[in-house]
Amino acid sequence: MRDYDFYYTQDGSVGLYSYADDDVYHSKYGALTEAWQKFVIPSGITSLLNTKENIRVLDVCYGVGYNTKALMSYVISANENLLKIKNKKKFINNFKKSLKNFGEELKEEISIDTIDNNKFKYWLSKLLLSIETEEEETVSKVHIDCLDINEELVKISPYLKTLITPQEIYTLIVPKIFDCFDLYWKIKNLISIIGLFFMPHNKAKITEKLNLKFNNDYDKSDREYRIHKFVNVIIIDQLLKLYKDNYITKDILKVLKNHENRRYLNVPLAKYAILKQKIKYDFISRFNLIVNLHNIYYDYLSKRYKNAKFKQVSRLFDVNFYVNDARKTILQLEGEYDFMFLDAFTYSKAPELWTVEFIAELYNKLSRNGVIMTYSTSALVRNTFIENKFYVGKILDEKTGKFIGTIAAKEKSMIEHPLSNYELGLCSTRAGIPYHDTGLGLPRDVILDKREFVFKNSDLLTSTQYIKRRLRKNNEDDDDGEE
């Protein structure tokens, strides 16, 4: 049964609040922005994209898929030029050039009198190969394995809206020339007021629960931090392949058709999934397929991103979903991953996904030059990585200059911002005592109780004692310097 509520975060993307865990799934300041800044951008996928034929990504705790969607959007944008319809004149010129070379080679090798079918096929294939080689560019295929235990969230993940904020509307329609006039601020204020009037508002109880003081008064966010319109359709198609006629069930239909939820959900996409499931698995005629999907699907896609073809984009990805306890799934997965996103609930709410044993499995599945990223900056999480022989560093938000997450790798060269001596020392305090889950099957409460027992009986400094000692030492060093 559903135990969560939707709400709009400050960048216009939908977040989730869990009543069972009394916690948010995403930052209330920007669910989508967090995915870009803490996972996609620091991953360094640019260095592998279109240089490696196959790139493998593991998304632990997929949730509603912001990390996967942001990554897919980034890959599509990076391949924008490769996905454009090829210039016909260029193709014709290349064809003529290849045909001329083909004729000269054919003339040297054989005469018309001696040509037979086999030789003709050989030379024709050589001609076609020369044309393809002329046009061929390396395009990486991105394989994404998504792990989550909540089936309902996985199923509804493609339908969450992302709004354009009033501030973004303003930057699109007000010229920069007004920067030096009072009119600039008047127009900005007017657009914000009008935009907020028409935009959906969060429920009062969620606003109060999360202390959203400026309800829907969104911060300015980057236009690049958006989800490409093709991404959700690709995910829907993959979910239909996985669940077949059991995808849009009565429970999911209830969520999609709920009046309160409509402000947060993309209705046309939901209609597309419902109709496609019915058409594909209830054997509705091909004529109805064309009629029903024209306005919902083909028209929906064709009005945007005209330079990219949906079929070409969809071939870039292989998205798989594993709806089960991640501890069981990780033991079944094969091969190595270039990138891992660890986006589980905080360790006090989901300790089973932050244990030494679970992180050890991630280490085993990570490629030699791979990296694993997480939003957490806690001493416990970082020490768990260290105990598994990871090199550990910090994720830097270059726009604010603040460190906003943790990155770990097998190779030291993959860490751009290593932990400081102070942060390493903090990992060695009681705060850094990790969780353990031998056999990867212990209940959550048992894992919490085991660490609590070790914590209470430990001889290590507490984090407070460590900080005070560091301050005292720094003050003594300053006094010595003055003398």
Domain that holds residue 416: 344-469
Residue that wins the pLDDT comparison between 305 and 52: 52
Question: Are 361 and 286 contained in the same domain?
Answer: no
Question: Are 156 and 279 contained in the same domain?
Answer: yes
Whole-number pLDDT of residue 291: 47
Kindly state the percentage of the chain with pLDDT values over 90.
45
Residue that wins the pLDDT comparison between 195 and 395: 395
Domain assignment of residue 412, yes or no = yes
Question: Are 111 and 124 contained in the same domain?
Answer: yes
- Give me the phi and psi of 366, to 5 degrees please: -90, 135
Spatial distance between the Cα atoms of 370 and 361, rounded to a whole number of angstroms: 14
Tell me 378's DSSP state: -
327 within 8 A of 355, measured Cβ to Cβ: no
Assigned token pair, 79: 């391949």
Question: Are 219 and 291 contained in the same domain?
Answer: yes
What average pLDDT does the chain have?
Answer: 79
341 within 8 A of 39, measured Cβ to Cβ: yes
Residue that wins the pLDDT comparison between 45 and 92: 45
Domain assignment of residue 186, yes or no = no
**Burial of 353 (C-beta count, 10 Å sphere; 0-12/13-18/19+):** buried
Q: Looking at the predicted structure, is the pLDDT value of residue 181 above 70?
A: no
Spatial distance between the Cα atoms of 483 and 481, rounded to a whole number of angstroms: 5
Domain assignment of residue 289, yes or no = yes
Boundary residue ending a domain (286, 319, 352): 319
Domain assignment of residue 267, yes or no = yes
Whole-number pLDDT of residue 105: 55
Q: Write out pLDDT tens, residues 400-456.
A: 889 999 999 999 999 999 999 999 999 999 999 999 999 999 999 999 999 999 999
Q: Looking at the predicted structure, is the pLDDT value of residue 201 above 60?
A: yes
Residue that wins the pLDDT comparison between 339 and 111: 339
User: What Cα–Cα distance (Å) separates residue 137 from each residue in 53, 83, 328?
Assistant: 11, 11, 39
Whole-number pLDDT of residue 189: 66
Domain assignment of residue 40, yes or no = yes
Question: How many CA within 13 A on the CB side of residue 164?
Answer: 10
Tell me 352's DSSP state: G
Task: Please measure the distance between the N-terminal and C-terminal CA atoms of the chain and give it in whole angstroms.
Answer: 68
Whole-number pLDDT of residue 268: 86
When computed from its CA atoms, the radius of gyration of the chain, rounded to whole angstroms, is: 27
Question: Are 115 and 156 contained in the same domain?
Answer: no
Question: Are 423 and 384 contained in the same domain?
Answer: yes
Question: Are 262 and 382 contained in the same domain?
Answer: no
pLDDT band of 135, cuts 50, 70, 90: very low
Residue that wins the pLDDT comparison between 333 and 399: 333
Question: Are 271 and 399 contained in the same domain?
Answer: no
Boundary residue ending a domain (280, 303, 319): 319
Domain assignment of residue 482, yes or no = no
Residue partners of 450: CB distance under 8 A and separation at least 6: 435, 436, 442
Domain assignment of residue 152, yes or no = yes
Output the CA torsion 21→242→70→80 (10° steps). Answer: -170
Question: Are 387 and 462 contained in the same domain?
Answer: yes
Spatial distance between the Cα atoms of 382 and 432, rounded to a whole number of angstroms: 8
Average pLDDT over residues 300-307: 47
Return the sign of the alpha-carbon dihedral for residues 299, 301, 305, 308.
negative
Residue that wins the pLDDT comparison between 97 and 239: 239
pLDDT band of 306, cuts 50, 70, 90: very low
Question: Are 220 and 106 contained in the same domain?
Answer: no
Question: Are 380 and 402 contained in the same domain?
Answer: yes
State the total domains in the chain.
3
Q: Write out pLDDT tens, residues 12-41.
A: 888 887 777 677 777 767 888 899 999 999
Boundary residue ending a domain (284, 319, 354): 319
Which stretches does DSSP call E strand in 133-210? 141-148
pLDDT band of 286, cuts 50, 70, 90: very low
Q: Looking at the predicted structure, is the pLDDT value of residue 49 above 80?
A: yes
Residue partners of 225: CB distance under 8 A and separation at least 6: 11, 30, 32, 33, 36, 70
Give one DSSP letter per residue of 204-272, joined into a string.
HHHHHHTT-SSTT-PPP--TTSS--HHHHHHHHHHHHHHHGGGSS-HHHHHHHH-GGGTTTB-HHHHHH
Average pLDDT over residues 83-94: 52
Question: Are 279 and 371 contained in the same domain?
Answer: no
pLDDT band of 97, cuts 50, 70, 90: low
Domain assignment of residue 50, yes or no = yes
